[in-house]
Amino acid sequence: MDIDVRGPRFGAAITTVVLAVALITQNVWLLAWQTLAFALGAAGGVGRSPYGWAFRVAVRPKLGPPTAFEAPEPPRFAQVVGLLFAGVGLVGFTLGPDWLGFAATGAALAAAFLNATFGYCLGCEMYLLVRRVAVRAE
- Which pLDDT does position 1 carry in this prediction? 87
- Which pLDDT does position 138 carry in this prediction? 81
3-state DSSP call for residue 120?
Answer: coil
Range of the domain at 121: 3-137
In tens, the pLDDT along 2-50 reads 999 999 999 999 999 999 999 999 999 999 999 999 999 999 999 999 9
- Which pLDDT does position 101 carry in this prediction? 97
pLDDT at 119 over 90: yes
- Phi, psi dihedrals of residue 14, rounded to the nearest 5°: -65, -45
H helices present in the chain, as ranges: 6-25, 28-44, 50-54, 73-95, 98-118, 122-137
Mean pLDDT score of the chain: 96
Q: How far apart are CA 137 and CA 128, in angstroms?
A: 14
Weakest-pLDDT range from 17-21, 78-82, 113-117, 128-132: 128-132
pLDDT band at 137 (very low <50, low <70, confident <90, very high): confident
In tens, the pLDDT along 57-106 reads 999 999 999 999 999 999 999 999 999 999 999 999 999 999 999 999 99
- What's the domain count of the chain? 1
- Which pLDDT does position 13 carry in this prediction? 98
